[in-house]
Amino acid sequence: MSFDNDDYLARQYQVSSIDLDGKVDELLRMAVPPTSPNLELYREMMLTVARMAEADRNRWDAKIMLQTLREMEDSFSLLERFKRRRKVTVFGSARTAPDDPLYQQAKELGEILARRNLMVITGAGGGIMAAAHEGAGLENSLGLNIRLPFEQGANETVNGTGNLLTFHFFFLRKLFFVKEADALVLCPGGFGTLDEALEVLTLIQTGKSPLVPVVLLDQEGGTYWDKALAFMREELADKNYILPSDLRLMRQVRTPHEAGLEIARFYRNFHSTRWTRGTFVLRMNHPLNDNALETLHKEFADICNTGGYTQVPYCPELHNEPEFCNQFRLEFAFNGRDHGRLRELVDFINLPQNWKSNS
């Protein structure tokens, strides 16, 4: 480092001699509730920022970090109000006119989802997004807007309300579209809609996002998703770029009513999933009968690495999840790869004939 002058070296020595860890711990003692289980996480966050400040990165890097932290904290704060409600993210074109049949279809979709007590998340813009929010009404709407130099202003339903978040970065907006979604409905749209569709499918396919229903909605006679699915089958699945079962991660429907039913069927018995100590846990509202468990061992052995499937009731000592005390658990060594087959397994456990008769 002969090109660096002595002033530079002296500055680095002076900065690194400060007890950053001690200062961070002191601040945390003042800010964090003493019983918080997140203390170590907050400590790592603050040390990360401190290390960045110590290195004094360029201004653009610092602004990205600041904007990201601000937007995430604002989002967490607002979304905390709605954490007990299931939500459906609806994607589609911002350019769909109110007299377009697709607009009316999206409005009907919003109405149907609201009647099922589901909140509707959209990008808060016009077109399909405005229609879905119009149908759902403000009480059942969340808008995740993006600052653009054109086109994207918040629609009338959520504009100026506490149900609206505005993002500077697309990647953060995408994070919350998926993080908050218990289901996704994709209507015809442009680059943005296709981008969201493929990103959502990639996240679920790779296990980076939990399994949720992905519904492709078009009108009767529409060809948008017909052609998209044909491309996926012929150019992706048939050429081994994806597994054929990956196409099961999405379902095509022609009416808002069918979309609502598809989402409701997905949660008829399935509740949620998690990984714990290398075991995949699928939570259910109803236990499976013996015949169904036997079928699982035979028909879904390909996605279970070892040991087969075990059904267990909630146990406070083992599970320590009081909020899920009413759910039964299907535990197995999922191979972590075949999420399309996992979706088929979910369809199987959702069939009422596979439940115990007294459940």
pTM of the model: 0.88
| Residue 239 CB burial class (10 angstroms; 0-12, 13-18, ≥19) | exposed
**What's the rounded Cα separation, in Å, for the pair 273 and 210?**
7
pLDDT tens, position by position, 296-336: 999 999 999 988 999 998 766 566 677 777 889 999 999 99
Q: H/E element holding 16? A: helix 6-16
pLDDT of residue 4: 45
Measured between alpha carbons, how far is residue 219 from residues 98, 103, 160 in Å?
A: 15, 10, 32
Q: Which residues touch 5 (CB under 8 Å, ≥6 apart)?
A: none
Residue 254 burial (C-beta neighbours within 10 Å; 0-12, 13-18, 19+): middle
Can you tell me which residue has the tokens 């790779």? Answer: 206
Radius of gyration (C-alpha) of the chain in whole angstroms: 24
Nearest to 203 by CA among 175, 172, 231: 175
pLDDT below 50 — which residues of the chain? 1-15
Tell me the pLDDT tens digit for each residue of 136-188: 999 999 999 998 776 567 999 999 999 999 999 999 999 999 999 999 999 99
Q: How long is the chain? A: 359
